[in-house]
A and B are shown apart, each in its own frame.
Chain A
Amino acid sequence: MTSPYSALPSRAFWRKAVAEASPFDQSDLYQPKWKISPDTKIATAGSCFAQHITSHLRANKFNVLDLEQPPFSLAEEHHQRFGFSLYSCRYGNIYTAQQLLQLAQEARGRFQPQEPAWERDGRWFDAQRPGVEPEGLGSADAVREHRRYHLTRVRLMFKRMDLFIFTLGLTEAWVRRGGLQDTVYPTAPGTIAGQFVPEQYAFRNYGCASVIQALQSFRRVVMSMRRGRSFQMLLTVSPVPLTATASGDHVLAATTYSKAVLRAAAGDLAAGSEAIDYFPSYEIITNQAARGVFYEANLRSVRSQGVSVAMDTFLEAHRPEAQSRQSPSLNGQAADATPGAPMPARIRGKSASRVRRQGQRAERQTNQRQRAGDLQCEEALLEAFGP
Chain B
Amino acid sequence: MKRILWCGGSHLGNTKNSAIRRLHEGLLRDYSAEFYITAAPANRNWSARGGRYGVEGSTVFGNRTMPKERRDLSLYAAIIFVGQWIQPWFAFRDALPLSDALLRLSLEGLPLHPWITRQGHRLRWFNEPLALFPQLTEAPVILIRDPEARMEHYRLVPAAAKRRFQAHLETFCQEAGILLCPQASEALDRHLVTLPRYLRNRTGEDCVHMSDEYWQRLFVNQLEPLLRVQLQQWKGSMGATNLATARVNSSGQS
Give the B-binding residues of A (Cβ under 8 A): 68-76, 78, 82, 133-138, 142, 145-146, 149
Is the pair B93, A72 in contact by a Cβ cutoff of 8 Å?
yes
- Given that A73-B110, A73-B114 are known contacts, is A134 also in contact with B122, CB under 8 Å in the complex? no
CA distance A371 to B100 in the complex (A): 26
Q: Per-residue 0/1 for B144-159: is the Cβ within 8 Å of any A Cβ (1 yes, 0 no)? A: 0000000000000000
Tell me the complex Cα distance, A149–B106, Å.
19
| Closest residue on chain A to residue B97 by CB atoms | A146
Interface size class of B (residues with CB under 8 A): 20 to 34
CB distance from B165 to the nearest CB of A (A): 10
* 6 A–B contacts from the bound complex (CB under 8 Å): A73-B91, A73-B109, A75-B115, A78-B105, A138-B100, A146-B99
CB of B220 closer than 8 Å to a CB of A? no
- Quick check: B97 and A74 within 8 Å, CB to CB? no
One of A68, A76, A134 near B101 (C-beta < 8 A) = A134
CB of A76 within 8 A of CB of B93, answer no
> Does chain A have a CB within 8 A of B1?
no
A73 near B100 with CB under 8 A, answer: no
Query: With a CB–CB cut-off of 8 A, which chain A residues contact B91?
Result: 71-73
Q: Which residues of B contact A71 (CB under 8 A)?
A: 91-93, 96, 98, 102, 106
Interface string of B57-101 (1 = CB under 8 A from A): 000000000000000000000000000000000111101111111
Q: Which residues in B have some Cβ–Cβ distance to A below 8 Å?
A: 90-93, 95-102, 105-110, 114-115, 122
Q: Roughly how many angstroms separate A198 CA and B60 CA in the complex, as a whole number?
A: 69
Contact (Cβ within 8 A) A75 B105: yes
**Residue of A72, A133, A137, A149 most packed against chain B (CB within 10 A):** A72
Q: With both chains docked as a complex, state the minimum distance between the C-beta of B5 and any C-beta of chain A, in angstroms.
A: 29
Q: Is the CB of A149 within 8 A of B90?
A: no
A137 to B97, CA, bound (A): 11
C-alpha gap A69/B122 in the complex (Å): 15
Q: Report the Cα distance A293→B37, complex, angstroms.
A: 59
Question: In whole angstroms, how far apart are the Cα atoms of A69 and B96 in the complex?
Answer: 8
- Complex-state Cα separation, A136 to B91, whole angstroms: 21
With A70-B102, A71-B92, A133-B99 known, 18 other A-B pairs at CB within 8 A are A71-B91, A71-B96, A71-B102, A72-B91, A72-B115, A73-B90, A73-B109, A73-B114, A73-B115, A74-B102, A75-B105, A135-B99, A135-B100, A142-B97, A145-B97, A146-B99, A149-B96, A149-B97
Query: In the complex, A78→B107 CA distance in Å?
Result: 13
Chain A residues, CB < 8 A from B93: 69-72
A235 to chain B, nearest CB (A): 30
Chain A residues whose CB sits within 8 angstroms of the CB of B114 once the complex forms = 73
- Give Cα distance in the complex from A137 to B96, angstroms: 14
Q: How far is the CA of A145 from the CA of B105 in the complex (A)?
A: 20
- Please give, as numbers and ranges, the residues of chain B lying within 8 Å of A137 by CB-CB distance: 99
Measured between beta carbons, the chain A residues less than 8 angstroms from B110 are 73
Closest to A78 in B: B105
Specify which chain A residues have a CB less than 8 angstroms from the CB of B100 in the assembled complex: 135, 138
List residues of chain A with CB within 8 A of the CB of B97. Answer: 142, 145-146, 149
Q: How far is the CB of A371 from chain B (nearest CB, A)?
A: 17
Contact partners of A149 in chain B: CB under 8 A:
95-97
Chain A residue nearest to B116 in the complex (CB): A72
- Determine whether the beta carbon of B106 is less than 8 Å from that of A133: no
Closest A residue to B165 by CB, please name it.
Answer: A73
Asked if A135 meets B115 with Cβ closer than 8 Å, knowing A70-B93, A71-B106, A73-B90, the reply is no
Cβ distance A75 to chain B, nearest Cβ, rounded Å: 7
